[in-house]
């Protein structure tokens, strides 16, 4: 039972970073970002490029990976999404196409095989007779710190106030001087950084792989639907529900079946409760 708790917690925090970024973009910019999984993969592969290939020190490599991921997300928005904003089908097609293009470019440059990165943290600690490696503890700590920083940004800063205003009423926010395009770009960059932090922190455990992009995207969508579109709190709760569910299925049924957990949640929630755990019937401020 303890291994399930440990692995489920690690996976839950990782999925939370992915899904909250996806939910943030939807809440602020009203964009269903199918390119989100690509940012997860970009961060993993650029970490490998800087750290392993170019032999740049690890802390610098991590920062460069996150900067690269955020920059690519902003460029994608300026070049394409800003021109079709509000046209949901076009947004989904463009972001999905972006994901496919990124995956194929990564395949061409890095090859089809997964690439490993050494653990950042060596050793482990013993909990109730079970050794927990320091890399998983690192994931939990960095995730908590990141989510705390995001909460401070959203609740206590001018940028956060602007994003919350757009989430509540876009027209009213623009009337009081909120720059919509600026807020959309910032929210997309923050979203990409969140996915990037998830990708960078789990790469030593999961490796950098092309399948990681689809895994992140599929689970991110499932969590956002389960938690309620645009609800950051709902996404956090849903991330742990799906994270523990995947670990339980992998432990007691088959590791090959854990990939369908997200799909099952998507189908069941859309049929039984389309608004999700904390959907639009809750306070609208829950979006951000």
The yes-or-no verdict on residue 287 having pLDDT over 60 is no
Query: DSSP states of 218-256 as a string?
Result: HHHHHHHHHH-TT-HHHHHHHHHHHHHHHHHHHHHT-GG
> Token pair 């050794």 is at which residue?
131
**Of residues 258 and 239, which shows the higher confidence score?**
239
User: How confident is the model over 139-148, as pLDDT tens digits?
Assistant: 999 999 999 9
In angstroms, the CA 254 to CA 179 distance is: 49
Residues forming a β-bridge with 131: 126
- Residue 128 has what pLDDT? 74
Residue 49 is classified by DSSP as: I
pTM (two decimals): 0.90
How many other β-carbons are positioned within 10 Å of the β-carbon of residue 251? 15
* Percent above pLDDT 70 for the chain: 97
In angstroms, the CA 175 to CA 272 distance is: 38
The yes-or-no verdict on residue 180 having pLDDT over 50 is yes
Mean pLDDT of 22-50: 93
Q: Which domains does the chain have, with CATH numbers?
A: 2-287 (1.10.3470)
Of the listed ranges 69-73, 191-195, 213-217, 257-261, the one predicted with least confidence: 257-261
Residue 263: CB partners within 8 Å, gap ≥ 6? 218, 222
| Confidence grade of residue 280 (pLDDT, cut at 50, 70, 90) | low
The yes-or-no verdict on residue 168 having pLDDT over 60 is yes
- Residue 285 has what pLDDT? 41
Residue 186: CB partners within 8 Å, gap ≥ 6? 159, 163
| Confidence grade of residue 286 (pLDDT, cut at 50, 70, 90) | very low
The b/e string for 50-81 (b: 16+ C-beta within 10 A; e otherwise) is: bbeeeebeeeebbebbbebbbebbeebbeebb
- Residue 141 has what pLDDT? 93
Residue 124 tokens, joined: 């482990």
The yes-or-no verdict on residue 282 having pLDDT over 50 is no
The yes-or-no verdict on residue 94 having pLDDT over 80 is yes
Of the listed ranges 127-141, 204-218, 236-250, the one predicted with least confidence: 127-141
- Residue 288 has what pLDDT? 45
| Confidence grade of residue 279 (pLDDT, cut at 50, 70, 90) | low
């Amino acid at each position: 039972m303890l291994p399930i708790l440990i692995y489920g917690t690690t996976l839950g925090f990782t999925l939370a970073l992915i899904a909250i970024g996806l939910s943030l973009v939807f809440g602020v910019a009203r964009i269903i970002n199918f390119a989100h999984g690509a940012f997860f993969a970009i961060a993993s592969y650029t970490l490998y490029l800087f750290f392993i290939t170019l032999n740049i020190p690890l802390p610098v490599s991590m920062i460069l990976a996150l900067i690269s991921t955020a920059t690519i997300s902003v460029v994608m928005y300026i070049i394409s999404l800003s021109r079709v904003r509000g046209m949901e089908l076009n947004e989904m097609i463009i972001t999905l196409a972006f994901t496919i293009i990124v995956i194929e470019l990564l395949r061409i440059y890095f090859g089809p095989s997964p690439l490993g990165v050494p653990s950042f943290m060596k050793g482990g600690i013993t909990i109730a007779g079970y050794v927990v490696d320091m890399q998983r503890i690192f994931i939990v700590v960095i995730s908590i710190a990141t989510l705390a920083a995001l909460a401070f940004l959203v609740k206590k800063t001018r940028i956060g106030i602007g994003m919350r205003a757009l989430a509540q009423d876009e027209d009213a926010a623009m009337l009081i001087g909120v720059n919509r395009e600026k807020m959309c770009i910032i929210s997309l960059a923050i979203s990409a950084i969140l996915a990037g932090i998830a990708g960078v922190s789990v790469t030593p455990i999961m490796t950098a792989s092309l399948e990681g992009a689809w895994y992140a995207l599929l689970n991110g969508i499932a969590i956002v639907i389960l938690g309620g579109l645009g609800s950051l709190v709902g996404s956090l709760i849903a991330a742990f529900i799906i994270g523990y569910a995947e670990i339980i299925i992998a432990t007691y049924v088959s590791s090959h079946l854990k990939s369908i957990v997200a799909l099952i949640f998507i189908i069941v929630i859309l049929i039984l409760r389309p608004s999700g755990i904390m959907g639009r019937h809750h306070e609208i401020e829950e979006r951000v």
